[in-house]
Every structure is written in C-alpha cells, then in structure tokens.
Amino acid sequence: MGSITGSELLAKSLKAQGMDTLFYLMGGPMLETESACIKLGVRAIDSRHEQGASMMAHAYSRLTRRPGVCMASSGPGTINMATGVANAFIDAAPLVAVGGASPRVYFGMDAFQEVDQLSLFKPITKWATRILDAKRIPDVVATAFRQATSGRPGPVFLDLPGDILGEVVDESSVTMPAQWKPAPRAHGDPAAIAEAIALLGRAERPLIIAGSGVWWSDAASALQSFVDTAGIPFYTTPISRGSVPEDHDLAFLFARAKAFAEADVVLNIGTRFNYVIQFGRAPRFAADLKVIQVDVDPVELGHNRPADVPIFGDARAVLQQLTTEARGTLDKRRYRAWVDKLKSLDTEKALESEKAMSDDKVPIHPLRLCKEVRDFLRRDAILVVDGQEILNFGRQSIPTFTAGHRLNSGPFGCMGVGLPFGIGAKVACPDTQVVVLHGDGSYGINGNEIDTAVRHRIPVLVVISNNGGWTADPKHDKPGRNLGYTRYDKVAVDFGAHGEFVEKPHEIRPALERAYASRKPAVVNVVTDDAARATTVRFSAYST
C-alpha cells in the first residue's frame, strides 16, 4: 500500500466516515488535507471567513442529519470557527470541526500562531481532542463522528498539529474503522408510557411541545400520527417546525401564548426547558402544570422544572409507543372545548395579522414584507430567518409545512447565521427553494459570503429587511443603532450576484420573481420602517 502522510490519512478518514462536502478556508497546516479531500471527490466549498464555514456546515448537518465538516488553519483561523461551533453546541447539532495547530514539537515555545485551541474548544463542544500520533487519525475521526451523533447531538473538535499532519506512516499499519452508524433507538419504559397516557386521559387542556429531538430522530410522521390519534394541539420549536404541517387542524400559531398559559398538561418531546419557553415556569405556564418530558438525554429530564412523568428515550420510538398506547384509550371529544377555544382565538388573531400584513404604507412595514415572502415561498421551501425585528415578525406570520425546512438564529441568538445557513441548506438540498430573510444588521456580519455563493454557483435568494440599523428605533435614541441604508444589492452585484432594490410594497413580489428567475445567488434589498417594532416574550432583562 505504500506510505501516506497524516494529511492524506485525515482526508481518507473523513471520507470513510461519510463526509462528502467540506466547508473551509484554506491555510496551513491544512492545505495538503484540503487538496487530498478534493482529490477524493469531496465537494470543497471555501468561505470568506471561517465563521461562515462553520455555520454552513451546521446548516448542512441540520438538513442531512449527518455531521457537517468544517476546517480551518491554525490559530486565528481555527478560533474564527468558534462562534459557529458554539452555536451548534447550544443548538445541539452534530458538527465535526477540524483545526490545524502549531507543530507539537514547538508547543510552549511561542511558535507561529501557537495558542491552546483545545482548551478554547472544550467548553463549546461535546468532545474535543488533540491527535498526537498520525496512526491514530482514523480511529479518532471515527470516534468524533460517533460522539457528534450519539445521544444528544453536538459538535466535536479535532486539533491537528502540523508535524502530525506531515508525519509519514506505512498505510498497511493503519486500520480504517467502518463508517459510523446510528445507535439503536432507545425505547421508553412501558410503565412510564402508560402513566403518560393516563395523565393525558385525565387532562382537560393538554398541549404538545415538540423540539429538535423530533427532527434529529426523524420523527415527523410519528409526531403527526400521535397528534392525529390523540387530538391534542401542538407547538414546535424552530428546528422542528413543519414536522406536522402548520396548516393542520390542531396547529394554532396565533394562540400560542394562551395555549401555554392555560394548558394543564404538557407533553414535552425532545426540547429543553430553556429561556425560549421560559424554563417551563409561571407565568408563561400555569403554576400547577403537569409535565410529561421525553428526552434522549437523561440529564435533561427534570432540568429547570420537575417532570411529573420523565421518559428517557428516542423521540420517534417513544412517540410510536405513545400512539399505540393512546389508541382506544384517549377520547378526542374530551378536548373539544379546549380545541375550539384555541381555534377561535387563532382565527381572530390570524385575521388581525392578515390585515396588518396588507398595509400599503411607505416605508414598508416588515409584516408586509413577510406576507410577500410567505406568498412567494413554495410549500416545501427552506426558510432561514436571521435578525431581530424581522425574526420576530416572521415567527408567526410565515408558516412552515415541511419537516426541517425552517432555520433561524437558534437558542444561542447568534446573529449572522442567515446567509451561511442558506448556503449550507442549498448545498444539502440543491433542488429545493431556499430563501433567507435577513435583517440588515445581521446580514452585514457575514454578507461577504455572497461571494462564496457566486463562486460556487449556489443560487440562494436573500431578502433583506433594511430598516437602517440594529433593531427598531422609534425614538431614535439607541447608541450604535444606526447603520444607514446600505445598498447591499449593489454590493452583491459587484460580487457577481443578482441584485434588486425595493422601496414600495407592490415592488416586492416582482423583485422576488426576477431574483429567483435569475438562477443566480440574489439579494433583494427592501427598505422597511425603522419604527416598526415587533412584540415578543421578554427573554431577559434586556430592554432592546
């Protein structure tokens, strides 16, 4: 078999574990690995910033349910990936981040770009390690993929010193592990399943809250089967939106606050009781709420609030168990008054929202922009939303009908993900319409990645709600808020993309149509009202 370098062995090991796409920014000591990946047929997408590469890999993992892979040079290059890796960590998304490092033999000698990258990444990953022997590369890479996907998913980090990458070994002395495979699904305790259905059978105002665990366990059809069988209204967190189409008879997007506040039993499947749902506590929920909690990570059971019925298990397996137990046991008619109440409120508020979304005023209200985007989207479109005001306006006004096809800043509140997420999503699903709805502030963070989309012919459509700065500012008194109305469309055209500039409501849809028809990466820059402020649940003491 001959000799092989650590760099070549790393490329072969990543490919052996299923990597077919690499997001990276070139540089030493990773150049030989990057070249080897390309020679092996891997699609290599080089970004304009390492943060963009890690975010693209994150979105790619979310659409494919396989670990995305990102790679960067030593020191500053690897550290630039950290924001995207941390976002994947908080988002519980599988990711394999590979960072080059100074040669091991010079550790502690102030070598070029020397910094303790391993210590920096340990707090923001599920698992991080440094490879100190080239022969161990295949085994460690296989372990990285297993760590990223086992139990609660998350990112991992591999630190590769330059001299290990340059080490030459006899290929016949190296064992290449088999490709990782998902572990068998963990089923819930049958006694707990029966207890959960019994509790729901006594409930009058039950509610289902489904999170990312439903997506990662490919449980969309299982969730819909349980919803249909039990007749219980449901809500989803962003990554699981579309698991059940949001025009389902038991989906009441506009009655969310009322549903949460008045529910007497909540079945929480695969989502954390974090700030997004106010830790499951009053006043967001009733003080005497009963909770059934399902999670693949046993540590999450009872975290932040007690679980009356904790169930450790895979979301899909447990939902199938619950559906079987519910058949012939739960009576949908018991919840009719509850369903009718939510439906009435949802219908009333939806009509109010539709009226607000039809506003023809100039400057354009963000809700009018949301309406035009909503009506333009195909039913199976992937929508990425990034910003503050536009994120909040788009939350209820634009539904999702296909599992996994809604991405946003996530529980970390990480702005700047929009365009990189859109690129990663389009690479993962090239035949699906991908639209990114951006605020102008968030777009500016990674807007240069439009060049990445152009160079690699990735036709993602970006729509910017440009209100001239960070957040809305009715009083015009926020320090550092104003950014000016930058012509991002012209910048995009200079990069080789399609650009559109919109100032009037009736111009939005034609601009979207032209941008999409161009079959090029496109930016539609829409001037919106800087005084239009969205209302949302207060997540903290911040006043912005």
Question: pLDDT, tens digit, for every residue of 379-412?
Answer: 999 999 999 899 999 988 999 999 999 999 888 8
Contact criterion met (CB below 8 Å) for 241 and 286:
no
Q: State the pLDDT confidence band at 47, using cuts at 50, 70 and 90.
A: very high
Query: 206 pLDDT exceeds 60?
Result: yes
Cα–Cα distance for residue pair 179/263, rounded to 1 Å: 45
pLDDT at 478: 87
Q: Tokens for 379?
A: 């039913």
**Other residues' Cβ atoms within 10 Å of the Cβ of residue 108:** 8
Structure tokens given for 327? 């058949």
Question: Quick one: pLDDT at residue 536?
Answer: 62
Query: Widest CA span of the chain, in angstroms?
Result: 74
Name the region of 367 (left: φ>0; alpha: ψ -120 to 50; beta: rest).
alpha
**Degrees (nearest 5) of the Cα angle 346, 350, 352?**
125
Bond from prior residue into 306 cis (ω within 30 degrees of 0):
no
* Helix, strand, coil % over all residues of the chain, rounded to 5: 45, 20, 40
Helices 366-376, 389-397: crossing angle, 10 deg rounding: 50
> Do the domains spanning 3-173 and 358-527 agree at the CATH topology level?
yes
Superfamily of domain 3-173: Thiamin diphosphate (ThDP)-binding fold, Pyr/PP domains (3.40.50.970)
| pLDDT average, residue stretch 457-483 | 92
In one-letter notation, the amino acid at residue 441 is: G
**pLDDT of res. 540:** 43
Return left, alpha or beta for 452; rule: phi > 0 is left, psi -120 to 50 is alpha, else beta.
alpha
CATH no. for 358-527: 3.40.50.970
Torsion angle of alpha carbons 26, 32, 36, 39, nearest 10°?
A: 70
Is residue 539's pLDDT more than 60? no
What whole-number distance in Å separates Cα of residue 136 and Cα of residue 138?
6
Predicted confidence at residue 109, as pLDDT, reads 73
Q: Tell me what pLDDT residue 541 has.
A: 39
Tell me the per-residue pLDDT of 54-89, one tens digit each, with 9 for 90 and over. Answer: 999 999 999 999 999 999 999 999 999 999 999 999
Q: What is the tens place of the pLDDT at every residue in 503-519?
A: 999 999 999 999 999 99
Superfamily of domain 190-344: TPP-binding domain (3.40.50.1220)
**Cα–Cα distance measured from residue 364 to residue 358, given in angstroms and rounded to the nearest whole number:** 10
Does residue 216 or residue 109 have the better pLDDT?
216
Band (pLDDT 50/70/90 cuts) for residue 117 is very high
pLDDT band (50, 70, 90) for residue 234: very high
* C-alpha dist (Å) from residue 302 to 92, 273, 290: 18, 9, 12
pLDDT at 123 over 90: yes
Instruction: Report how far residue 360's alpha carbon sits from residue 362's, in angstroms, rounded to the nearest whole number.
Output: 7
Residue 481 has pLDDT above 80, yes or no: yes
* Averaged pLDDT, 359-365: 94
- CA-to-CA distance for 36 and 30, rounded, in angstroms? 10
Q: Looking at 127-131, 157-161, 471-475, 487-491, which range is the least confident one?
A: 471-475
Angle at which helix 315-326 crosses helix 220-230, to 10 degrees, equals 20
Q: Which amino acid is at 207?
A: L
The domain spans of the chain are 3-173, 190-344, 358-527
pLDDT band at residue 542 under the 50/70/90 scheme: very low
pLDDT tens, 309-361?
Answer: 999 999 999 999 999 999 989 999 999 999 999 999 999 999 998 988 998 99
> What pLDDT does 275 receive?
80
**Mean pLDDT of all residues in the chain?**
94
Q: Where are the beta strands (DSSP E) in 84-134?
A: 95-101, 127-130
Determine the Cα–Cα distance for residues 537 and 395; give it in Å rounded to an integer.
12
List Cβ neighbours of 185 (8 Å cut-off, separation of 6 or more).
217, 313, 314, 316, 317
CA dist., res. 61 & res. 23, Å (int): 12
In this structure, what DSSP letter does residue 199 have?
H
